[in-house]
Amino acid sequence: MKKYRVVGQDVEKVDGRALVTGQPVFTDDFSLPGMLYGKILRSPYAHALIKEINASEAEKLKGVEAVFTYKNVPRKAYTTAGQGYPEPSPYDSFIFDKKVRFVGDRVAAVFAESLSIAEEALSLIKVEYEELPAILDPEDALKDGAPVIHDEPEIQGAHDPSRNIVSHVDLEIGDVDQALRDSDFVVEGIWETQYAQHCPMEAHIAIAYLDERGKLVIRSSTQVPFHARRILSFLLGIPISKIRVIKPRIGGGFGAKQEVLIEDLVALATLKTKRPARLELTREEEFVSSRTMHPMKVKVRLGADKEGMLKAIEMDILSNTGAYGAHGPTVFFNAGSKTLPLYNKAENVRFTGNVVYTNLPVAGAYRGYGATEGYFALECAIDELARKMGIDPLILRQKNHIRPGETSPIFKKLGEGREGVPQTVESCGLEECIENGRELFEWEKKRSLPREVAPGIYRGYGMAIMMQGSAIPLVDMASATIKMNEDGSFLLLVGATDLGTGSDTILAQIACEEIGIPVKNITVYSSDTDFTPFDKGAYASSTTYLSGEAVRKAARKVKEQILTVAHILLGASGDLVIEDGLVKEVGTGKTLTLEEIGLRSFYMADQRQIQATASHVSEVSPPPFAAHFVEVEVDTRTGKITPILYVAAVDCGVAVNPQLTRGQIIGSIVNGLGFALSEGLVFNTRGMPLNPNFLDYKVLSSLDIPEIEVILVETHEPSGPFGAKSVAEICINGPLPAVANAVYDALGIQLKKAPFTAESVLRLLGKI
């Protein structure tokens, strides 16, 4: 494999120094004179009509500058989902509506001189509700006579709102029923995931102000600054040219900030009052009223022959998108499109299901994006099949998983809420992932040990394999601009949205590798819709792969411009290379500094700005692959599951920065372990969340994590920058099935509903 100078190195995070010294880099680390503070009034009912809303007392309160309700804002159906245009999500949301559809839905907003005044004003808004019957179970959404959650005439893009169906798919390749009949072994089951929330440490926050031109500037904690600008323009009826969105450093997003949730309100306040306006969600609002993972019931049926070859896979999903359908169709599609091609030996595949509205919090994009839910079912079913056949589940996987040079019809059939794009898998290190993980984990040795290690204490060993994608092919575009200064330093301007992932660093490394300079010679700016070129934003495992390739292309153009000047200056006819910031003539050893080139270009001859912009759209979405292994301990007296050792072998192509890559892998595994062990919103019978806080929504702490070993299995993806694929999402998919499979291995019980609480373990053991 080709050796790189900058790519593949553990380069220090380019924003790292600012972050470890606590510099004012986040949205809220910034204050403007005269800034107003906003608060949102939320619905106490799961489903109700607002019969009357009277804000006159609130408006009269001293210090209140603006109050918004459905009565004084534009009424336009839109989607909060920050996706490419036209969005595959239904237009079913309004800034404010006469109807509220979940506990925590928007009712009104107040902007005032201080937060306390805004809070007081909220209590002065009089609302009369007419409570409607609510749907609190997705199964009920489809029943005849069920309440209709979206009966507004403006709704667009939902499959059948009158039946609460956002999206519906009925896809079959081959003949699944026949293949199942012909199979020697058939298994089936239903696996269910919970209401999980992203819990970024920084809550959603946005600050709006008018600049000296009267332009609306929005500084926002967003993963999608360009989509946010487009959506705001549409929603508020002001031209794109009058809006600028700035994304500073982001305190985590994980998909929750791939939505436009508060920017519209600060924009309205600033447009109305001409004053800066700030709005930040409380932690409770973050849990209840921002976005969550899609709770799904995933039914899987598998059929295999005597040799252990899969003949049929059927996946049927009921996905709960909550009160609004942001990302509803696409997350559902991904539950199939990112999972089913993994077992491409099965010639008969069926993918069916519905995404339904309920009167519960709104599900959206969450790292993994449906694949997490799909893999929980699929990988548990694979283990079940192996047990039925009496073979090692590792071997069953080896027999059936996709390999380099192979394809799956699913790639074409299932895309982003529509048809996908056919592709052949070029790079695939899954075999090595399984092999290396198996070896480090000591799979066979561990599985031959007695499971009871002390009275009532059992150990179990489980695994799962998985893939994801890299970017959305033929949909999403990324671009980058690189400029050279006269001292030979560079500026990299990207719309790509580093939300803590380290993408600014990765993109700097890619630019520097291509040009031939060290990372210290480049400054990265992300993202500002007025000063950085378009990028779709941070989602769909796109940045390294898609934005990275745009950066590489721009860097190549810049390099060509530099070399053109260098040829003239050196009077050289032969090959020139740039290494460590010096231009060298191959053979003669003559050198030239980039500063000399920069000065000449600016001031002396053939004057010009050395710079280039490049854009990139991918025709494929090459999957990263991974094999996960976990050892758990279960205390059968309390039911508590403790993960002991977690091994993740991951093929993400060339790891541009192995240390940051490892961070993405470990971080997503620990989040996934949270899904498996403890996370989940709990609701009362009126749809009110009971645990919207860190006291009772249990994210894992440093004391809850197992020993985690990461193995990077490097492959070279020909379509990616320097062979890279994506890595940010894939590993969140492993813990649910791997832990469930390990617990089965320990105790012979099948955990089919996440999270796997101690109580659920004891119930399955028949102890309570």
Applying CB under 8 A, does 13 fall inside the site for other proteins?
A: yes
Residues numbered 704 to 723 that lie near other proteins (CB under 8 A) are 704-705, 708
Q: Which of 599, 42, 602, 83 is nearest to 282 (CA)?
A: 42
Q: How far is the CB of 209 from other proteins (least distance, A)?
A: 17
Near other proteins by CB under 8 A, which window of 37-45, 132-140, 309-317, 669-677?
669-677
Q: Between residues 304 and 731, which has the closer beta carbon with respect to other proteins?
A: 731
Question: Which structure tokens are listed for 334?
Answer: 């991904």
Per CB under 8 A, contacts with other proteins among 617-636 are none
Nearer to other proteins, 448 or 702 (CB): 702
The interface with other proteins within residues 738-757 (CB under 8 A) comprises 757
DSSP conformation letters of 617-633: E-S--PPPEEEEEEEEE
Q: Nearest distance from residue 730's CB to other proteins, in Å?
A: 14
Structure letter (DSSP) for residue 546: I
Are 601 and 607 contacting, i.e. CB atoms less than 8 angstroms apart?
yes
Q: Does the footprint of other proteins cover residue 440 (CB under 8 A)?
A: no
Nearest to other proteins of 28, 431 (CB atom): 28
Q: How far is the CB of 585 from other proteins (least distance, A)?
A: 36
Contact set for other proteins, span 170-209 (CB under 8 A): 198-203
- CA-CA distance, 458 to 242, in Å (whole number)? 63
Q: What angle do CA 344, 348, 349 make, to 5 degrees?
A: 75
Instruction: Rule CB under 8 A: choose which of 164, 526, 544, 678 binds other proteins.
Output: 678
Count CB-CB contacts under 10 A for residue 605: 10
Which among 1, 16, 33 has a CA at the least distance from the CA of 659?
16
Cis preceding linkage at 658, omega within 30 = no
Q: Which residues contact 267 (CB under 8 A, 6 or more apart)?
A: 208, 216, 218, 232, 236, 243
- Tell me the closest approach of the beta carbon of residue 659 to other proteins, in angstroms: 4
Distance CA 122, CA 129 (A): 16
Please, are residues 136 and 356 in contact by the beta-carbon 8 Å criterion?
A: no
* Residue range at the interface with other proteins (CB under 8 A); choices 95-103, 262-270, 291-299, 668-676: 668-676
Contact positions with other proteins (CB under 8 A) in 272-301: 280-283, 286
| Smallest separation, CB 457 to other proteins (Å) | 13
Q: Which of 33, 405 has the CB closer to other proteins?
A: 33
Q: How far is the CB of 762 from other proteins (least distance, A)?
A: 7
Binders of other proteins in range 23-42 (CB under 8 A): 23-26, 28-31
Which CB, 146 or 250, lies closer to other proteins?
250
**Binder of other proteins out of 273, 659, 686, 750 (CB under 8 A):** 659
Q: Which span sits near other proteins by CB under 8 A: 9-17, 52-60, 469-477, 537-545?
A: 9-17
Of the ranges 234-242, 477-485, 509-517, 685-693, which one interacts with other proteins (CB under 8 A)? Answer: 685-693
Q: 39 to 58, contacts with other proteins by CB under 8 A?
A: none
41-49, 379-387, 624-632, 660-668 -> range binding other proteins (CB under 8 A): 660-668
Min dist CB 30 to other proteins, Å, is: 8
User: Of the two residues 428 and 728, which places its CB atom closer to other proteins in the complex?
Assistant: 728
Binding pattern for the stretch 245-264 against other proteins, x by CB under 8 A and - elsewhere? ----xxxx-x----------
Which listed residue (6, 8, 15, 345) binds other proteins by CB under 8 A? Answer: 15
Pick the binder of other proteins from 212, 589, 695, 766 (CB under 8 A).
695
State which residue, 280 or 314, has the beta carbon closest to other proteins.
280
Provide the mask over 484-503, with x wherever binding to other proteins is found by CB under 8 A and - wherever it is not: ---------------xxxx-
Which of 30/70 has CB closer to other proteins? 30
CB of 376 to other proteins, least distance (A): 19
Query: Which CB, 325 or 734, lies closer to other proteins?
Result: 734
**Residue 128 or residue 696: which is nearer to other proteins going by CB?**
696
Cα 449 to Cα 446, 736, 740, 746: the distances in Å are 5, 23, 19, 11
Residues 333-392 that bind other proteins (CB under 8 A): none
Binder of other proteins out of 1, 306, 448, 768 (CB under 8 A): 768
> Which residue, 370 or 735, has its beta carbon nearer to other proteins?
735
CB of 552 to other proteins, least distance (A): 23
In the complex, the smallest distance separating the C-beta of residue 136 from other proteins, rounded to whole angstroms, is: 15
Is 677 near other proteins (CB under 8 A)?
A: yes
**Torsion angles phi and psi, residue 360, rounded to 5:** -130, 170
- The candidate with the shortest Cα–Cα distance to 363, out of 556, 140, 138, is 138
Contact 580, 516 (CB under 8 A): yes
Two structure tokens written together for 7: 């790519």
Q: Tell the burial category of 722 from Cβ atoms under 10 Å away from its Cβ (0-12, 13-18, 19+).
A: buried
Q: How far is the CB of 285 from other proteins (least distance, A)?
A: 9
The tokens of 137 are what?
């179970």
Nearer to other proteins, 217 or 250 (CB): 250
Of 179-187, 244-252, 534-542, 571-579, the window that binds other proteins (rule: CB under 8 A) is: 244-252
Return the bridge partners of 356, or none. 165, 320
State both tokens at 281.
């969600």
Q: Among the residues of 655-713, which ranges form H helices?
A: 658-677
What Å distances lie between residue 535 and 125, 228, 497, 542, CA to CA? 41, 12, 8, 10
Residues 101-140 close enough to bind other proteins by CB under 8 A:
115-116, 119-120
Per rule CB under 8 A, count of chain residues that contact other proteins: 80
**Which candidate, 532, 470, 32, places its Cα nearest to that of 247?**
532
CA neighbor of 110 nearest in space, from 232, 266, 283, 282: 266
d(C-alpha 732, C-alpha 702), whole Å:
18
Q: Do 223 and 253 contact (CB within 8 A), yes or no?
A: yes
Burial 116-155 (b: 16+ CB within 10 A, else e): ebbebbbebbebebeebebbbebebbeeeebbebbebeeb
Nearer to other proteins, 640 or 716 (CB): 640
Place of tokens 């520097």: 512
State which of positions 501-530 bind other proteins (CB under 8 A).
501-502
Question: Would residue 577 be called left, alpha or beta, if left means φ above 0 and alpha means ψ between -120 and 50 degrees?
Answer: beta
Please identify, among the stretches 8-16, 75-83, 166-174, 463-471, the one whose residues bind other proteins according to the rule CB under 8 A: 8-16
Angle between helices 371-389 and 328-337 (to 10 degrees): 30
**Nearest-approach distance from CB 257 to other proteins, in angstroms:** 11
Toward other proteins, which CB reaches closer, 41 or 677?
677
Instruction: For residues 100 and 330, give the distance between their C-alpha atoms in angstroms, rounded to a whole number.
Output: 24
* Residue number with CB closer to other proteins (72 or 691): 691
* Cβ 202 vs Cβ 191: under 8 Å: no
